Structure formats: structure tokens, C-alpha cells
Structure 1
Amino acid sequence: MAEAPARGPRRLRPRPRRRHPTSSRGSSEAALDYGTRGIRVNVVSPGTIDTPMVRKSLGAEHDEARFAEMREERVRTHMAGMRRMGAPEEVAAAVLMRSADDASFISGATLYVDGGATSALT
């Protein structure tokens, strides 16, 4: 087997990227591509969060009593882990944590903000 001649230090080149990187795999690829430029790429993956969109999907956009009933039913039948919906502020806190200077060595990672629901899938 022939060896290539030594040409000095090998340059790192970005790996070919998929056209539309998604989810944790996309963040890993993007982290490799952009890490040498000092750009961190992470994913925050929220679970069911109490938002107007979720309330609308449950058919309880303007009815607090109906929303409470539907929320309890959904928690009982579909949610593992902490068995509650998250708050938008909890997702915002996760994003702030990942973007802080103290997290400057975290890149290419996925943070699940779902009250432990993803852990029940593994």
C-alpha cells in the first residue's frame, strides 16, 4: 500500500452538508462545519409547551375550564416523565443557558426540554 507524501499539516475542510439539516444530526454536522469559525450550533427540542397554539389544537383556545380538562386528559394519556406541560419560560431558560458564555464549549448537542418524556422512549 503506497503512502501519500508528507505535505505538512492537513487542513480541515467542512464536510459536505445536506441541503436541509434537521434535528440533532443536522446540529452535529453544522457544529463540525462551523466550529472552526467559533460558531456553536445546538438544538433545543421542547416537548408539549402551554402555548396558544397548543390550546387551539386542544380545542380550548378561549375556555380555561375546557383547557384544564383537556390538559389533564393529555397528561394522563400521553405524557411521561414529569407528567405536565412545560411553560414557555422554561424553554427560554434552556436557550439562555445554552447561549451563555459558560456554555462556550457545548456544540453539536441536543437539549430536550420535555420534562423527561424523551427518556421514556429509550
Structure 2
Amino acid sequence: MVKPKSTVPSKIREHTRFYPYFKDCIGAIDGTHIPATVKSRDVSSYRNRHGKISQNVLAACNFDLEFIYVLSGWEGSAHDSKLLHDALSRRNGLKVPQEPNHESPSLLLTQETEENNFEELLES
């Protein structure tokens, strides 16, 4: 995972149509389902809305399509909003502090958050 850059991405800066709305954006966040193999007693929890056994993973990517945040381990039946709530409520969760420059604020994840997320990813 990488740290977001503090400059406005060229894909946003060079398009006047998008700049006013996305100038402070560091990327996109969404949930995705990864196929999983689980013990028979857990199958119902990991069955997603399409009937497949999966793990729901929350991920954020920057404009260079590099991961800047990953939260894995949730059952396939868990809704994306539940994962987002979990990420926001963790002690070292999805923290996005602003830089001191208030004229053109850019959002950055802290190094500590990035390291903890990577450790959690390795443990799961």
C-alpha cells in the first residue's frame, strides 16, 4: 500500500469539469467480494446476495490505481456500509487527516494507519 500524494492528481487538475468537485479527492473506496473457502458451520454467514461463498473486502485506491487502504475479513453477507462503519470506528482505522495548508487541503492517511492495516491484512 502507498501513501496518497499531497498534490492534486493531473487527471483532476487538467479537467475543469471535474476539478471543482474532486480537487480534494485522493481516490475511491468500495467493497468487493473475494471467493472464500470456509468451514461448513460458517457457510451461511459467508454466502453473499448472489448465493456465492465470499469474503467482503473494503479497499481504497488512489488515481494511480494503487491501494491506500484495505480492510478484509468480513463475511460475504456483510453489507459495504457495515465494513465502512467498522473501518471508521477502529482505533487506527480509516483516518484521513488534512494537511496544515487550509487553502488547498489534501487528504492523507497516517503512516501508523497504513502500517496497522497492512499488519491486519497479513494476519487475515
User: Which structure's CA Rg is the greater one?
Assistant: 1
Larger strand proportion, structure 1 or 2? 2
Using CA pairs below 8 Å that are at least 6 residues apart, which structure has the higher relative contact order? 1
Larger helix proportion, structure 1 or 2? 1
